[in-house]
Amino acid sequence: MTAAIPFANTYARLPEHFFASVDPTPVAAPRLIRVNRDLAAELGIDAAWLESPEGVAVLAGNRVPEGAEPLAMAYAGHQFGNRVPQLGDGRAILLGEVVGRDGLRRDIQLKGSGPTPFSRRGDGRAALGPVLREYIVSEAMTALGIPSTRALAAVLTGDSVMRETVLPGGVLTRVATSHIRVGTFQYFAMRGDVDGVRALADHVIGRHDPDLAEAPNPYAALLTRVVERQADLVARWLLVGFIHGVMNTDNCAVSGETIDFGPCAFLDAYEPSAVFSAIDEYGRYAYGNQPGILHWNLTRFAEALLPLLAHEAEAGIAVAQDCLAAFGPRFEAAYYGGLRAKLGLTTERDADGDLGRALLEAMQAGGADFTLTFRRLGQAALGPEGDAAVRALFADPGLYDAWATRWRARLAAEPLDPAARRAAMDGVNPAFIPRNHRVEAVIQAAIARDDFAPFHELVTVLARPYDDQPAFAAYAEPPQPHERVLQTFCGT
């Protein structure tokens, strides 16, 4: 009989000190909230089976499926800049890996599935709110074209968890091309376990970058590849106004995927110093700080790899510095290339970066909504008659007017006709993002009224972020003053 989930595990073949074998802890009364049927099809898993009582039991952690080898991964990290030698999966259990119909290998992990040896006195559980938030935001990021972990399913446990108050519990089934983090490498490096660092690096190369195995220095090539992926990723975050909120090295995936959606948020009004995370008291992970923090995290990754980069320490440091030097140019190319596209520009001129920055400065001074300003520029690109909708977003419309004069002069040198330009702009400037107040409303409906209809509707809307969707136009609107979310919270 064919296994319901076609596991093909490799991480479980690594040395035993890479993880702790542990089964999920059963819950009282699991109830399905949602199965991501499209993702299930990609993975070669029958969605109808996942929705059956047997499947729900697996998704809740009440049953270990055939072929699974449940484990909690060991890792360390720097949290808010502080060195922590041991962290690990404290409330997540990797069931195993599957190779999807596209040939891509992915992890299947239960998040909120009970305590592990890495729980550090925690209960290993997840409250319903963070489960819904991660499902919404990770799937929205994917629809926006940003590399991200995915959500395969969400279930209620029937148990309560104690956080600030008593809350319903949930389990998220998370899918990732891997859950290996910068902090995973740090776990071994902090112990002086060079063999462990090498075994992990070889595993990552084999899994994510097999072409690098033939490079003259495969480990330097791996460092460069991860630098490039992360530079591209953080540029994409900035271009949609995303704030991760807790960019510790243990939340930095070497796959280049966005991982861990705890106190994350999206900008409403443009403000580079914006911080929503309740635990980020000093603004370390503010919106505008994210590129610098990514470079800092990658430097920690380079430190972990130093013994592999060269035989002599000084030579290894020189190799690491050369690899890390690629971050700035790669980030700027990705960010300013994306900003140029958001402005409707298809050719490159030296002054384009200044033009983009000038708009952002005007938006900041005028309190203009980040997402709607760029979206409405598509209409304005057809002609000055489209300016009114953009001007209305600025407390002082003159700020936009002064900038728009420069922008139109630049557009006049572009080859695209206005209709094609508008279509191209609408393809990179979303109408719909997971607005913080909308996510909070969904969570409150689920917790207070056991009403998941708002959750399902929001997930459906966010699956098509670049389409106008007139029936759901309200979801594109920024919050009213009384709806603004000022803080977001970690799920632990």
Catalytic residue positions?
A: 250
Q: Nearest CA to 270 among 235, 234, 241, 239? A: 241
Q: What angle do CA 226, 227, 228 make, to 5 degrees?
A: 90
Cα radius of gyration (the chain): 23
Rounded-to-integer distance, Cα 12 and Cα 33, Å? 30
Q: Under 8 Å CB-to-CB from 216, ≥6 apart: which residues?
A: none
Letter string b/e over residues 193-215, b meaning 16 or more CB atoms within 10 A of that residue's CB? beebbeebbbbbbebbbeebeee
DSSP 490: -
Three-class secondary structure of residue 9 per DSSP: coil
Bridge partners of residue 265, in order along the sequence? 243
User: Phi and psi at residue 170, in whole multiples of 5°?
Assistant: -150, 165
Beta-bridge mates of residue 410: none
* 18 CB-contact burial (10 Å; exposed 0-12 / middle 13-18 / buried 19+): buried
For 116, left (φ over 0), alpha (ψ -120 to 50), or beta? Answer: beta
Exposure letters 136-170 (e unless 16+ CB within 10 A, then b):
bbbbbbbbbebbbbbbbbbbbbebebebeeebbbb
In the numeric block, the tokens 């490159």 are attached to 348
User: Between the CA of residue 133 and those of 74, 130, 139, what are the distances in Å?
Assistant: 25, 5, 10
**Quick one: which of 286, 280, 438 has its CA closest to 371?**
438
User: Token pair for residue 361?
Assistant: 């400065």
d(CA 391, CA 367): 11
